[in-house]
A and B are shown apart, each in its own frame.
Chain A
Amino acid sequence: MLGFLEKVSNYTKEAISAAQYLVDGLGVTFDHMRRRPVTVQYPYEKLIPSERYRGRIHYEFDKCIACEVCVRVCPINLPVVDWVMNKETKKKELRNYSIDFGACIFCGNCVEYCPTNCLSMTEEYELAAFDRHSLNYDNVALGRLPTSVTSDPSVRPLKELAYLPGGIMDPHELPANQKRAGKLPNQIIKELQAEKSQEEDKKNSSDMVSNKLNSTN
Chain B
Amino acid sequence: MNSGIDLEMSFTQGIQNLGLSHELAHLLWIPLPMLLVLVSAVIGVLVTVWLERKISAAAQQRIGPEYAGGLGILQPMADGLKLLVKEDIIPAKADSVLFTVGPILVLVPVILSWLIVPFGQNLLISNVGIGIFLWIALSSIQPIGLLMSGYSSNNKYSLLGGLRAAAQSISYEIPLALAVLAIVMMSNSLSTVDIVEQQNTAGFLSWNIWRQPVGFIIFWICALAECERLPFDLPEAEEELVAGYQTEYAGMKFALFYLAGYINLVLSALLVSVLYLGGWGFPISIDWFSSLIGLSIDNPLVQIIAASLGIVMTILKAYLLVFLAILLRWTTPRVRIDQLLDLGWKFLLPISLVNLLITASLKLAFPMTFGG
User: What is the interface of chain A, defined by CB distance below 8 A to chain B?
Assistant: 15, 22, 25-26, 28-30, 32-33, 35-39, 41
User: Which residue of chain B lies nearest to A31 when distances are taken between CB atoms in the complex?
Assistant: B59
Interface size on B, residues (CB 8 A): 14
Contact of A30 among B57, B62, B327, B332 (CB under 8 A): B327
Whether B59 and A29, one on each chain, are in contact in the complex, defined by CB atoms closer than 8 angstroms, is yes
The B interface, classified by DSSP as helix, strand, loop or mixed, is helix
Chain B residues within an 8 Å CB radius of A29: 59, 327, 330-331
User: Which residue of chain A lies nearest to B328 when distances are taken between CB atoms in the complex?
Assistant: A26
Contact of B59 among A22, A33, A38, A39 (CB under 8 A): A33
Chain B residues within an 8 Å CB radius of A37: 57-58, 61-63
A26 and B59 alpha carbons, distance in the complex (Å): 10
A25 and B331 alpha carbons, distance in the complex (Å): 6
User: What is the interface of chain B, defined by CB distance below 8 A to chain A?
Assistant: 55, 57-63, 327-328, 330-332, 347
Chain B residues within an 8 Å CB radius of A41: 63
User: Which residue of chain B lies nearest to A33 when distances are taken between CB atoms in the complex?
Assistant: B58
A29 and B332 alpha carbons, distance in the complex (Å): 10
Whether B332 and A22, one on each chain, are in contact in the complex, defined by CB atoms closer than 8 angstroms, is yes
Given contacts A15-B347, A37-B63, A39-B63, contact A32 B58 (CB under 8 A): yes
A85 and B60 alpha carbons, distance in the complex (Å): 61
Chain B residues within an 8 Å CB radius of A15: 347
Whether B62 and A26, one on each chain, are in contact in the complex, defined by CB atoms closer than 8 angstroms, is no
Chain B residues within an 8 Å CB radius of A35: 61
CB of B36 to closest CB in A, whole Å: 33
25 example contacts (A-B, Cβ-Cβ < 8 A) are as follows A15-B347, A22-B331, A25-B332, A26-B327, A26-B328, A28-B331, A29-B59, A29-B327, A29-B330, A29-B331, A30-B327, A32-B58, A32-B59, A32-B60, A32-B61, A33-B58, A33-B59, A35-B61, A36-B61, A37-B61, A37-B62, A37-B63, A38-B61, A39-B61, A41-B63
A15 and B60 alpha carbons, distance in the complex (Å): 28
Most buried by B among A26, A29, A35, A39: A29
A37 and B57 alpha carbons, distance in the complex (Å): 8
CB of A56 to closest CB in B, whole Å: 29
A12 and B62 alpha carbons, distance in the complex (Å): 38
CB of B329 to closest CB in A, whole Å: 9
CB of B96 to closest CB in A, whole Å: 38
Chain A residues within an 8 Å CB radius of B332: 22, 25
CB of B298 to closest CB in A, whole Å: 43
Chain B residues within an 8 Å CB radius of A38: 61-62
A33 and B324 alpha carbons, distance in the complex (Å): 13
Whether A39 and B58, one on each chain, are in contact in the complex, defined by CB atoms closer than 8 angstroms, is no
